[in-house]
Structure 1
Amino acid sequence: MAEPGVAVAPERPRPDVVGAVVLNGEGRAFVQLRGPDRRLYPNTWDVVSGHVEDGETPVEALAREVAEETGWRLRRIVRDLGRFHWPDNDGVKVTGAYFLIEVDGDLSRPVLEWDKHSRYTWAGTEDLESLRENCAPDDTLIRDVVARALQVHRQPGGSTEQNSTSG
């Protein structure tokens, strides 16, 4: 059962990876730069994301990744942003489920995993193409996920009531 206030994400088929877009009060998306020593996608922009571990539901994995990568707490899932597929280094298809979420915590002070991410920023529509920095020519995943979240936010009734501090 999900925590109070946290919408239940679709569980089947179970994704391999979950990811989240967090928007601040200005409607900008939190992104973090993967470190240069990362085995997969070094020096590329990413949203909060990670693998669903054995025995975890996608919502549990999402909450864990948000806490580990930012220090924030998952408040609720606002919208399902879709499923995306890509091959891993071994050519096996990976499925990622991405969500627009709200969190509790101080958005001005994310607690990054500095050994995995070298910096962060808040990206708007004007920054979308820069999210492809150091990506392969056909790798548009993070740009596409952030663009979808920003589009949802601009739709009537799509804005989040994101707090800048916990309350």
Structure 2
Amino acid sequence: MSLDANTPRIIEVVAGVLMRPDGSYMLGSRPEGKPYAGYWEFPGGKVEAGESFEQALARELDEEMGIRMSRASFWLTRVHHYEHASVRLHFFRVWDWQGEPRPLEGQRFAWMAPGTASVEPMLPANGPILKALALPFVYAVTCAHLLGEAAILRRLSEPDAPQLVLVREPGLAPAELARFTAAVAERVHDYGGRVLLHGDTPELEGLPVDGVHLPARQLAACTVRPDVPWVGASVHNAGELARAGELGFDYALLGHVQPTDSHPGQSPLGWEGFEAIRAATTLPVYALGGLNMRDLDLAQRHGAHGVALMRGAWA
């Protein structure tokens, strides 16, 4: 495709989110002499000719803070238009590195707890990124129709109860679903977690939930993001994933990755298929289908934000 004089050139940029095991992440201030000097951002910089994104990130982290990146995984991509340039930001989460970060360019560093950003001013492009970092690595999907309500509610009273819960109970009548959802929300909100409801169900408006999760058929019919704090969708292909991004959703569930009892006879994506679909995503993507907690590291190596679990979340 040829570019005319009115087509802005997009600069390819990499950014690294240094992650600690507890989910905290690092921000750095922009040095003097650069646009938005003093603003906080994720370390990184422009991709040079002939570099892969991973090579560019490794070089930038070495130049900016003197560390050697040893393990990182692609996370998501965002395009942002500044007054001085348009940039395509390729975000990686950096899990392991050698050395201690040092401010080699006169910048400052700060570690942030998950879901927080206590430094300011923040670079404008990072608003959605900070929200995405508030999402835990494990997304628990209720299955009371398989395990019983008592097992679900009991798990939500344990010390390591899931921080993000999707109520998905297609077999319950609206009144019963409302009662169960309220019971789940009471427990999850008591320890500071979030609850989403599966399906845009008008009869259930006013329930104490934090957002809505749309199945693929409702995503296809959606023309505007639902007016709730958190919105996600189930997707099965690149087109559906792109649609969720265009509507400004907060995350997506992509699957099924492995064979499942709930989809007999259907071919799973496998990890190569999962990675191919999420390659250009603007959203954090959870891997779904036939997985358990032992698959979390593998999922993140293939670019997943984390894993979405049904039975495995309630054991």
TM-score class normalised by the smaller sequence: 0.5 to 0.7
1:147 maps to which of 131, 136, 141: 131
- Which residue number in structure 1 is paired with residue 98 of structure 2? 105
- Which residue number in structure 1 is paired with residue 56 of structure 2? 61
CA displacement at 1:86 relative to structure 2 = 1.9
Encode CA deviations 1:118-155: one digit per residue, 9 max, x unaligned: x2111123533x45x2357xx2x224324324525455
Kept in 2, the 8 Å contact 1:81–1:145? The answer is no
Runs of 4+ more than 3 Å apart: 152-156
Does the C-alpha gap of structure 1 residues 150 and 99 become closer, same or farther in structure 2, counting only changes over 3 Å? Answer: farther
Trace 1:12-161 onto structure 2 (pairs within 5 A): 16-35=12-31, 37-89=32-84, 92-106=85-99, 109-115=100-106, 117=107, 119-125=108-114, 127-128=116-117, 130-131=118-119, 133-135=120-122, 139=124, 141-151=125-135, 153=137, 155=139, 157=296
What SS class does the counterpart of residue 127 from structure 1 fall into? coil
Encode CA deviations 1:5-36: one digit per residue, 9 max, x unaligned: xxxxxxxxx9611001011132110111223x
Does the C-alpha gap of structure 1 residues 24 and 145 become closer, same or farther in structure 2, counting only changes over 3 Å? Answer: same
- Aligned partner of 1:67: which letter? D
Once residues 111 and 121 of structure 2 are traced to their aligned partners in structure 1, the CA distance between those partners, rounded to angstroms, is 18
Unaligned runs of 5+ in 1: 1-13, 161-167
Kept in 1, the 8 Å contact 2:16–2:43? The answer is yes
CA displacement at 1:50 relative to structure 2 = 0.2
- Aligned partner of 1:134: which letter? P
Kept in 1, the 8 Å contact 2:23–2:113? The answer is yes
What SS class does the counterpart of residue 116 from structure 2 fall into? helix
Is the helix fraction higher in 1 or 2? 2
Kept in 1, the 8 Å contact 2:27–2:40? The answer is yes
Unaligned runs of 5+ in 2: 1-9, 140-292, 301-315
What SS class does the counterpart of residue 151 from structure 1 fall into? coil
CA displacement at 1:60 relative to structure 2 = 1.0
Once residues 17 and 73 of structure 1 are traced to their aligned partners in structure 2, the CA distance between those partners, rounded to angstroms, is 19
Q: Give identity over the alignment, percent.
A: 24
Does the C-alpha gap of structure 1 residues 18 and 152 become closer, same or farther in structure 2, counting only changes over 3 Å? Answer: farther
State the Cα RMSD in Å.
2.9
Kept in 1, the 8 Å contact 2:20–2:95? The answer is no
Once residues 121 and 75 of structure 1 are traced to their aligned partners in structure 2, the CA distance between those partners, rounded to angstroms, is 21
Q: TM-score, normalised on structure 1?
A: 0.66
Q: RCO higher in 1 or 2 (8 Å CA, sep ≥ 6)?
A: 1
Once residues 81 and 152 of structure 1 are traced to their aligned partners in structure 2, the CA distance between those partners, rounded to angstroms, is 16
- Please identify the structure whose Cα radius of gyration is greater: 2
Does the C-alpha gap of structure 1 residues 154 and 111 become closer, same or farther in structure 2, counting only changes over 3 Å? Answer: farther
Does the C-alpha gap of structure 1 residues 114 and 94 become closer, same or farther in structure 2, counting only changes over 3 Å? Answer: closer
